[in-house]
Each structure stands twice: as structure tokens, then as C-alpha cells.
Structure 1
Amino acid sequence: MIKLARIGLLGLSTLGLAAGALAQAPKPGTSPAYGPQLEGFDYPHSIQRHAFSSQGQQLEMAYMDVAPQGQANGRTVVLLHGKNFCGATWQDTIAALSQAGYRVVAPDQVGFCASSKPASYQFSFHQLAANTAGLLDALKIQRATVIGHSMGGMLATRFALMHPERTEKLVMVNPIGLEDYQAEGVPYATLDSAYEGELKTRYETLRGYQQKFYYDSQWKPEYDRWVHMLAGLYAGPGKEIVSRNAAQTGDMIFTQPVVHEFGNIRVPTTLIIGQTDRSAPGANRATKEIAARLGNYPELGRKTAQAIPGATLIEFQELGHSPQVEAPARFNGALLKDLAG
């Protein structure tokens, strides 16, 4: 039985921490340049680093570990970012969860943001899930609620499938991968061609894509901070390795679907779906007919909720790919209510 909630325009204030984020964002038209591990970008909380060995290399996972600010409830939430996002993008949700008594761990995955950018690495959701489990081991966290957004939803699913005993609850926020893009007819892009495409990434290309597919062709100034965050990686001295890792993780998304395993999930699961989202990686390579049917999140969310045993579906009627950014107070209110339930 699917439990369904629709969240409309009326409700909680959307202020959140948006004013703070806006104050820190570079002005439109400027071009910040950050280091290959996002040196120079201000995270909302102190960054710690988990050093470990993987595939014969010494690597680091950057992460924020935020203690409860309110009365501690003994529960931990792990927040997993998307491909075009970082742990920092969760700043409003981190604040809301911490104030509600949760310990919050928000890592940057290897190949992303403030973490290591390996020159040679076999990226897989299994590997990233293993890395995440290793971080939790180091922090002595046995069980946690795992919340994944966008690509992080695919990773959170893989983590829950690999470690059901450690997953108190699975929450997916507008996850990509609710459909098998390759099976739907999207042509494959070689790593070389994907790399060449990534090298062309600029603030303008990132904003254009996000405005069209993430925010229903709308834009608010507070979104700029997160676009500049990512654009700064491509503008900095690590441009080549950042682009290489981005191409590799894009290939991971395309070739490692999780949609076929939703029926195997055996942990309590909630899907939070902004209904105006139209994200579909690789749709730009597909024919117009194929591209037109991809990224139908209202349909995909309901289909996925039916596939996952006992899933709860929360729909935000007027929000898109990043409801935690677009309307943080509304999103956080619904999330906290779901976690409490």
C-alpha cells in the first residue's frame, strides 16, 4: 500500500536559510575559481576528512559531522548529494535536522566537491556505498537514516540494498535513475566525448540546464551560490581532473541503473518528488521523441512507489528537482514529519 501526501503552495514559510546563502553567493557575472577539492568555497560547517585506501590509492572523503543542536534523539541522518551538488547544498536541511535533535553526517563522495579526485578510479555505486559504509565505521555509526538527492538517490538505494541492517530508513529526494536511460533508447557517450563535453562547463551552461530542468524555467538569486560552487571547480586549476571524474560518474549513472532492483528494497522507504522536475541524464543525446517522454517525475514517482514494498510518496506540486533548495522550510517540515512518523 502506497501512502501518498501532496504538498501544495500553502504551508510553511520558504525563508529557511536562503538569506544567508544569498549573502554568500558571488554576484552574477563573476567567475570564482576554486581548487580541485573546492578550496576557497565556504562550507556551512567545518570540514573533516576521512582518509582511507581504495583501489590501491590513498584517498580522502570530506564530510560534515554536525551534532544535535536541539535535544538529542539518538538518531543519525546521512545526507548524500547529487552529481551537480555537494554536501554543502544540504545546509538548510542540516540545520533543520540538527535543531530537531538529529546527528547529521553529510559527506562529499570521492570524485566530487571537497573530496579526492583520483586520476584512475573505477567508479561504481557499489564502491561509493562501500566508501560511505567505511566512513560510518570510522565514526562508529551502526545505523542511520540515509537520505539521497538526485544521483545521491541512486547511491542511497544501493547502500540500502547492500546494508539493510544499517539503514534505519531510506529517503529519496527527486532521485535520478527512476528509469533506465539506456533501455529507453538514449545513445551511449564514450568517456572521451563526455570528457570533452565536461570541459566546456561554465556558469552559464550550468545555470541554463538547471533553470530549464530543475526549476521549471524559473530562477531565484539564492540558487546562484550552488551554481557558482560547481562552476568554480571547472574554472579552477583542477579543471581537467574535475571534468574527467565528472565524465566517469556520468558513465556510472548511465550504465549502472538501480531501477530494476526497487522491488528488493527491504527497509522503510519514502520518496519525495517535486512534480515539475524534468531531469533525464543523456536526454540531449536522444531523439526528440525519446527525450520528450523521459523525466516525467509525476509518473515516475508513482511507479517507483508501487515498486518499493510499503513505500510512502510525498509530492510537492509546484516544486522541481531540488525541493530542499527551492523551498527549504516546506521541504524540511515535510521531511521532519515523515521521519518522526
Structure 2
Amino acid sequence: MLTVSSDTLSQNANKLDKFIKLRKAGEGTYGVVYKAKDKITGKFVALKKMKLDRYENRDSEGIPSTAIREICLLKDLHHSSIVELLDIICGDQKSIYLIFEYLELDLKNYLDLSKERLPEDLIKSYVKQLFEGLAYLHSHRILHRDLKPQNILIDKEGHIKLADFGLSRCFMVPIRAYTHEVVTLWYRAPELLLGSKMYGPGVDVWSLACIMAEMITKKAIFTGDSEIDQVYKMFKICGTPNESTWPGCTSLPDYRSSFPKWEPQDLSDHIDFHTPQQKDFLLSILEYNPAKRFTAREALKTDYLKHTKLTSPELQSFEGFSQN
């Protein structure tokens, strides 16, 4: 049974009084996020109010196991590319407040607000930081399982961080069965789309590959409006997988012999790459076969990311956002 110590969950609801809520910064299935200010330090924080009555398997009293799982994961994560959990405060019986470090924008907002194409050095800087965070997660046997631009935060100095661990799970070796109904559709790995319940860190790498493609083009590469449409959008560009390109794929629960047989297209027909090296790197992580797909650590060892430096984003987008 999952438990959280009294040191971790403060019973003093008055601790909330030290924060001034400035505006709503976002809202998800299980909570609302506010930009807030610490009255004592003057620092901005992100205050996430978790609505416990929205969680499944909740007892009439106490904290549901799904909420505890997320908190337990977050409180043990300490990495420069992962948003930091600063404090946990119990509100009333229906809510818990998670206090996070504050970053100005999520990646989706930044891509929408940016007027110009993102330069390659910024993309490389972002991709390297994200893979560093992912390598840290995977080394601690944690799958994020919901990587998308909305769950990635950035600041004015060029830092980028993984956030929103509501669907994250610990994994063991050998991999055991998990639900395949995770990850937002446009960023869902092919093994998940084809119904595999035995999957590993590669699902996060595929999501990050889709995010990298979106950084280059400023639009999502696979935009299905249903699971089968997502599969077809993916197959039309990357080709319909078979036993020679992805051994074992035809045995996956949702693979159909009736799938149309598309040949893989040149990715350059869909993405205007900055350099051939950028294309080669993306192909190594946008790989159907999870066994051949680069791991986060392998991606970090490539020449493409090896000498990448921190790069600041276009500040005009931040200024436009702060005025909203």
C-alpha cells in the first residue's frame, strides 16, 4: 500500500496563505495550475491544485493511490531538465496543492507564438536537454508516458523541462504488461497504437521524436483524429510496417493484414530539415521497431547532440505571452 509520510504532506492548510494567486496558467483532467507568487521570497511558483474527487479508486476519506503515486514519483526526481516539486500542501479533503518551480511558457505556446522558424541551434539545445531528462527518468525506471509540447516547459534563458507526470509509471525488467491507452494520440508510439501491452522506454523516445519534428515544422507530423486515422497518417509517411522492417509487428493485437500497404516516403518531403545530420538523427528516433529505436542515452552520444550548448529562445514570444 502506498503511503506518504507526515513530513511530505503538510497538514497545515495555512501554508497556502504565503502564496498570492496571480492567474490561471492551465487546467487538466485532475487539476488547475495557477501562476502564484511567494509573499516571503517574491519568487514565482506554479501552484497545481489536484482535485482528488476526479481520481478513480478513491476511498471516502484519504488520498487516492493514483494521486500518491504521482507525488511519490515527483518528490524523488531531481534533475535540471525536470520541473522541480518544491512543496506539497494539503488543502481540504478534496484537494492537494503541489508547488512547482515556475517557467514562463509551455513548448506548445512558444511554437504558436514564435513568428519565425526555430533555429537549429535552439532545437538541438532543447532536444539535448529533453533527452538528458528522459535518460535520467529511464535510469530510475520511470516512464513518462505523456510527452507532448503542452507538458514541456521553457524559460527565457533557454532551459526546457519535462512536466506533468500524471500518467508516469515505474517499470521493471523484464517489462510487464501495462495499458496501451496512454500518451496523447499524436505522440503515441506505433507499438502502443497497435495494442502492445509490453512496452518500455522507447514509447517516450518516439514521443520526443514527434516533438522534435514539430519544433522544426511548427506543426505536428502525425495528426490523426482517431486511433486508426493516426495509424494511417503514420503509415502513409513512414510506410506500412511488416516482418522484415519490424519483426513481430504482425503479431501485435491491433495489427491487421488488411492494412493498406504504403511505401515509406522521403522524410524531407514533409520536413524542411536544417541539415542532413538533423534528418539522420530524427530517423534514428522515429524508428518503428522499438529494439532498433535509439535509447535516450544512445541519442545523447550521437555527434549531432554531443557539442550542443544552451541557447536562448526568441524573447518576443515571451513578451507577447506575458501581456495576455
TM-score (norm: length of structure 1): 0.28
Structure with higher helix content: 1
TM-score (norm 2): 0.29
Q: Which has the larger radius of gyration?
A: 2
